Amino acid sequence: MAENDGHRAVFTPINCSPTPYITGGNLPYRYDLVSFHFHHLSEHTVNGNHYPLEVHFVLTRHGKPLSTTITDTTSTQAAAIAVFFKRGSEPTPIDPLVQAMQTILPASGNTATVKSYDISSLLPKNKSLYYRYKGSLGEGPPCNEAFLWTVMKQTKPVTQSQIDLFTQLNKNVDNGYPFNNRQFSQRMNMP
Ligand SMILES: [Zn+2]
């Protein structure tokens, strides 16, 4: 399900059995997907450069609600995955989301359903190349460093017209949070 939460488009898996999850990649646990959302421009920068779009997957340790795992900043029971998008041509993994995006664009609280979306299509082919660090989710409370971040190095494609949808969404939403201003961009330059 897609929802305009007043800040961005948030996608939540519904009627998925089992809940989409991720393991491996030197992650300490199996993590279940709670939701995913997009940032335009990208929140993370690589060598000081933004990408036009970035998706964030919000994950929690299997069997534990996010409300409990994000309160423990000393552990790694909450996780987030980021994937950058570069301008490219169709097909893109955003294609199946466009209609829902258009539906939720006009106002906060609007929702739309995306039928049988392959969430893994948002992940790059090469999943072994990534940056890893511990940090906050960056938007909204609680702003703590409970999340084990995996930022994929390989990008996915997005078209200019799809980027325009996110530009429109940014215009329509309440800019209560400082967009595109993550403090840890410099950490991305660490080997
Ligand atoms: Zn985010």
Virtual torsion, Cα 11, 96, 164, 179, nearest 10 deg: 20
Grade residue 89 by pLDDT with cuts at 50, 70 and 90.
very high
Taking the C-alpha atoms of residue 38 and residue 10, their distance in angstroms, rounded to an integer, is: 7
Q: 63 C-alpha to center of ligand 1: Å?
A: 23
Q: 70 C-alpha to center of ligand 1: Å?
A: 15
Residue 67 in 3-state DSSP?
helix
pLDDT at site 74? 85
User: Average pLDDT, stretch 36-52?
Assistant: 91
pLDDT at site 179? 39
The count of C-alpha atoms lying within 13 angstroms of the C-alpha of 22, restricted to the half-sphere facing its C-beta, is 23
How many residues appear in the chain?
191
Q: Which domains, from first to last, does the chain contain?
A: 2-174 (3.10.200.10)
pLDDT at site 139? 56
Q: Which amino acid is at 46?
A: V
Q: 89 C-alpha to center of ligand 1: Å?
A: 24
Q: 139 C-alpha to center of ligand 1: Å?
A: 6
User: Average pLDDT, stretch 154-168?
Assistant: 95
Q: 43 C-alpha to center of ligand 1: Å?
A: 7
Grade residue 138 by pLDDT with cuts at 50, 70 and 90.
low
pLDDT at site 144? 73
User: Average pLDDT, stretch 99-107?
Assistant: 90
Give pTM, 2 decimals: 0.88
Residues sharing a CB contact under 8 Å with residue 145, sequence separation 6 or more, in sequence order = 73, 134, 135, 136
* Residue 51 confidence (pLDDT) above 80: yes
* Residue 57 confidence (pLDDT) above 90: yes
C-alpha 41 chain-centroid distance: 12
User: Average pLDDT, stretch 149-164?
Assistant: 96
